[in-house]
Amino acid sequence: MKRTFWIKTGLMVVSFMTLLFWTNLSYSVSAQSKGNDGGTDQQVLVNSSIQQLNEEATSLYRHALEHNIEEVRNSIMRISERLEHISFEGQTTVEGIHAISETIVEVKEAAVRVKSDDTGLQQASAKLRLAADSLANPAKPLWLQYYKIVQNDLQALSTAVNRHDNGATLSSQYAVLEEHYETIRPAAMIRREPYEIAQLDAWLSHTKGLTAAKQPDVAQLQSMLSHGEELVNQLFGREKDESAFVPFVEGPNRRAAGLFITSVIVAALSYAGYRKYRAQQQGIFPFRR
C-alpha cells in the first residue's frame, strides 16, 4: 500500500506541475501575441522606412564616387524628407539620432563646397552610408569590418613610435587612424553606448597631442597605444570571449521555464523518496525500526 501511495503521489505531482507549466506557457505566448498585434504594423513600417533610408544613402555614396553632384543633392533631399517621418524609438539612443542627423548636415555642407573639396564629399557620404547601414542592420553592420583597418593603423603608429620616428611621421600616421575612426564614428554611435565613444574621443585627443610634440614621449605613447588597443577592441566587441553559458530561456516565457524546472526537481525528489522507502522496506538502512 505504501509503495502504491508513493508512486501515485509522484505521478500526481509531476502531472500537476506539467499542467501548470503548459498553462503558463500558453498564457504567456497568447499575451505576447496580443501585445504584439497592435505594434506589429507600426514596427514593419519603421523597418521599411529605415531600409529605404539605407538604400538611399547607398545610392548617395555611389553618386558621390561618380561625381554626380546633381543626384547627390537629390538623394540628400530625399533622405532629409524620410528622416522627418522615421520614429527612432527603440532603434538607437538620443546620441545616435544626433550622430546621423549631424552626418546628413555634413553631407549637405560638403555638397555645397564640392568644387573645392571633392574628397570631403566622398568621406561624408561614406559616413552616412555606414550610419544608415548601422540603423538598418544592427546584427551585422558594415562598420564592424573596419576593425582590421583600425588595428592596422594602431600597429603602424606603434611601429613608428618604437622606431623613434620624428613628430611629422607620427602625426601623419595618427592622421590616418583618426580619419578611419571619424568615418565609422556616427555608425558606432548608433549602436554603442555614449561612454564608449567618449572614451575613444578622449584617447584620440590625448594621443594627437603626444604625436604632435617636437620631442615625442616614447614611453607615454607606448602606454597610450596599449590602452587604445583595449578601447578599440571594446568598441568592436572584441574585448573578451563570449560566455559559454546562455540563459535557459529568455523573454516572456522565463516564468514558464522556471515552473518546468521546478516540476522536474519535484519529480526527482518524489522518485528519490520512493527509492528511500523501498530501501527501508528491504532493510538496507541500518536505522530501520
pLDDT over 70 (residue 214): yes
**Highest mean pLDDT range out of 42-51, 66-75, 147-156, 164-173?**
147-156
Q: Which residues contact 146 (CB under 8 A, 6 or more apart)?
A: 180, 183, 184
Residues forming CATH 1.20.120 domain(s) in the chain: 38-140, 141-241
In 91-243 the beta strands, taken as DSSP E runs, fall at none
**Are 145 and 186 a contacting pair, CB within 8 Å?**
no
Q: Whole-model pTM above 0.85?
A: no
- Whole-number pLDDT of residue 242: 41
The secondary structure element, H or E, covering residue 252 is none
Task: Render pLDDT for 68-84 as a digit per residue (tens, 0 to 9).
Answer: 999 999 999 999 888 88
- Whole-number pLDDT of residue 249: 42
Average pLDDT (238-264) is 47
- Whole-number pLDDT of residue 202: 97
**Are 189 and 99 a contacting pair, CB within 8 Å?**
yes
pLDDT over 80 (residue 287): no
Task: Render pLDDT for 85-110 as a digit per residue (tens, 0 to 9).
Answer: 777 777 888 899 899 999 999 999 99
* Lowest model confidence (mean pLDDT) among 198-202, 209-213, 227-231, 270-274: 270-274
CATH topology assigned to domain 141-241: Four Helix Bundle (Hemerythrin (Met), subunit A) (1.20.120)
- Rounded CA separation 273/267 (Å): 10
- Rounded CA separation 241/246 (Å): 13
CATH class of the domain whose range is 38-140: mainly alpha
Beta-carbon count within 10 A of 63 CB: 20
Cell 613610435 maps to which residue?
161
Q: What count of Cα atoms within 13 Å lies in the side-chain half-sphere of residue 286?
A: 0
**Are 267 and 12 a contacting pair, CB within 8 Å?**
no
Cell 614611453 maps to which residue?
219
